[in-house]
Amino acid sequence: MSIHGTFVSKGGFSKHRNVLNRAERIERLKGEDRWVLDKNSVFCLPKVRNIKMG
């Protein structure tokens, strides 16, 4: 019998996610110098590409 995917630990086999949560998107925008707290809102964030490396 095999183990269902929901019971597998998250540490070793992390999958690539195409969708980032809000905090991850803001961090990515800050790294690209596209985020200014005074001008931008946390709502309606621009799209951020998440490309799998490797």
- Asked if residue 25 belongs to a domain, the reply is yes
CB 20 within 8 A of CB 45: no
- Asked if residue 5 belongs to a domain, the reply is no
Q: pLDDT digits over 4-47, tens only?
A: 877 766 665 567 788 889 999 999 999 999 888 777 788 888 88
pLDDT at 44: 82
| Domains: count for the chain | 1
CB 45 within 8 A of CB 28: no
Distance CA 25, CA 43 (A): 11
- Asked if residue 33 belongs to a domain, the reply is yes
What are the structure tokens assigned to 6, written together?
């929901």
Range of the domain at 30: 14-45
Phi/psi at 10 (nearest 5 deg)? -80, -15
Q: Angle at Cα 22 formed by Cα 43 and Cα 18, nearest 5°?
A: 120
pTM for this one?
A: 0.62
